[in-house]
Amino acid sequence: MTQSVADHPILDPRFAPPFPQAVLPVLRNPQLRKNVAHAIDVIQAKRGRLVAEKTDWQELRTAGSALRAHVLENLGTYLEQFESRCTAAGGHVHWAADAAEARQITLDLLRQHNASDVIKIKTMTSAEIQLNPFLEAQGVHAHETDLAEIILQLGEQEPSHIVVPALHINRSQVREIFARTMGLKNLSDDPKELTNAARRYLRQKFLTIPTAISGANYLIAETGGVGIVESEGNGRMCLTLPQTMITIAGIEKVLPRFQDLEIMLQVLARSATGERMNPYTSLWSGVTPGDGPQNFHVILLDNGRSEMLRRPVERQTLKCIRCAACMNTCPVYRQTGGHAYGSVYPGPIGAILTPQLMHMHHAQSLPYASSLCGACYEVCPVKINIPEVLLELRSQVVNQERRQVGRVFDLMYIGLRMANFLFTSAWRFHLAQRLGRIGARLVTRKDGWIHSLPSIGGKWTQTRDLRGLPDQTFHEWWAARAKEAK
């Protein structure tokens, strides 16, 4: 998996450039920024209206948060229950420790069913494990069926959002892609006409390709059922017409009971697309004779998730229901769009999820791709305290870095070690203050401000001024005041 085309974003965290570097081409692309800002404004306005009308929104968030936390605390139990109920209903459950194993299980199943083509419902999990390029290399062609995913697949583009993955592409760009790849010279850029073109393009595929792959929004432990929410009906097509269905789901997707959907369905569509309910929700348990796929497989994917359970702060990450509200509200995402994150999971959730999926070996710049303003926490329907997780991950990144040999002589770390030395003893601190005051005189101008500092301090003063140090510290003033009083 090497990809080096400069204008193609690299959504593999192992090879992606660090965030500050990756944003540069985006910030210089006004068209892209306009497309992203427009899409986000529309979703945000709709979400705002529909959340405001829900008088029990905070109670729903509290319930959703507690439910998801409860699932994670009892994850093993619920996964086993799901497995036994799903199996009893005629499904087959497979367990994949990592991406490679999930891909291999998928391929083996496809081979068992002699599949050379497969239709797909939009799934983030499959993007996470980079399934499509793998299948392609093995001679199985995966056809995406969600409109946005078709745009990306035919246009050879990467997703930039987890709910509306092609939001960075505007209508004339879609027209160009469809006209070129579907051979429709006279296509206009009217979204209705473009949508119709996709409908026609896919209809035959739905009716003839007997194997499908999906993700899952919910696994229901009590029933062994799986739930998928969608808008277009491509999901229903894939869940109904083929003979074989392979569902790839992260192990955290489980809910204890059927009834829990009453919470999840009330918060998901409102948060994701600003609708009271998404047009279609499909639920099925195992195999139903005469209705839908008669071979049903679920692959439960770990891929780093079980490690995140260890500590409560990081564990929150797995409560996520992938609604994308956090990226829609994020002031950073709004400016950069999704590609700069170098992961299929962008935005605030991507900034905490991606490095952890990489066992903190890659994507270490992402926890810094945030102003810590807290907007993501405020909108998150399951109350993930994203800023708290970001800070925790930042500290892990720093701990990693400072142990690296090269960093021992890094000016920043030398400075921090010195600060540590000075700040941990009162007399060293006071001495430093006195010396600092003398030193500061050299750089303080007549107006009482420091306009530029030498050495790495210059980076700080590049964009801001510092007030000069006062002649007396508070501590000294307090001591002097006490003496006077006597």
* Binding positions for other proteins, 42-81, rule CB under 8 A: 42-43, 55-56, 59-60, 62-63, 66-67, 70, 72-81
**Site for ligand SF4, residues 358 to 387, rule: CB under 6 A:** 379-382, 384
Q: 93, 183, 196, 203: which is closest to 143 by C-alpha?
A: 203
Instruction: Give the whole-angstrom CA distance, residue 401 versus residue 406.
Output: 9
Token output for 392: 């925790």
41, 164 contact by CB (below 8 A): no
Helix (H, G, I), strand (E, B) or coil at 442: helix
Distance CA 132, CA 126 (A): 8
CA 257 to chain centre: 26
Which tokens go with 189?
Answer: 């850029």
Q: What is the nearest approach in angstroms of other proteins to the Cβ of residue 157?
A: 13
Nearer to other proteins by Cβ, of 283 and 443: the residue is: 283
Binding mask 233-272 for ligand SF4 (x = CB under 6 A): --------------------------------------x-
Closest to other proteins by CB, 77 or 425? 77
State both tokens at 294.
């008669």
Site string for other proteins, 138-167 (x = CB under 8 A): -------xxxx--x------------x-xx
Closest approach of Cβ 278 to other proteins, in Å? 7
Binding other proteins (rule: CB under 8 A), the pick from 87, 181, 294, 306 is 306
Q: Is 201 in the site for other proteins (CB under 8 A)?
A: no
39 binds other proteins (CB under 8 A): yes
Q: DSSP E strands: which ranges in 272-359? A: 280-285, 295-301
Contact between 239 and other proteins per CB under 8 A: yes
The count of other CB atoms within 10 Å of the CB of residue 295 is 18
Q: With contact defined as beta carbons under 8 Å apart, do 330 and 347 qualify?
A: yes
User: Which C-beta is closer to other proteins: that of 22 or that of 236?
Assistant: 236
User: Which residues in the 322-341 window bind ligand SF4 by CB under 6 A?
Assistant: 322-326
Q: Tell me the window of 16-24, 123-131, 306-314, 342-350 that interacts with other proteins (CB under 8 A).
A: 306-314
Question: Which one, of 111, 161, 133, lies nearest residue 273 by Cα?
Answer: 161
Residues 214-233 that bind other proteins (CB under 8 A): 220, 222-223, 225, 231-233
Q: C-alpha dihedral over 84, 89, 94, 99, to 10 degrees? A: -110
Give me the residue label for tokens 């990809």. Answer: 3
Which region, left, alpha or beta, applies to residue 468 given φ > 0 means left and ψ of -120 to 50 means alpha?
beta
C-beta of 324: minimal distance to other proteins in Å?
13
Residue 384 touches which member of other proteins, ligand SF4, none, C-beta under 5-8 Å by kind: ligand SF4
Q: Out of 37, 124, 283, 443, name the contact with other proteins by CB under 8 A.
A: 283
Residues that bind ligand SF4 (CB under 6 A): 271, 320-326, 349, 379-382, 384
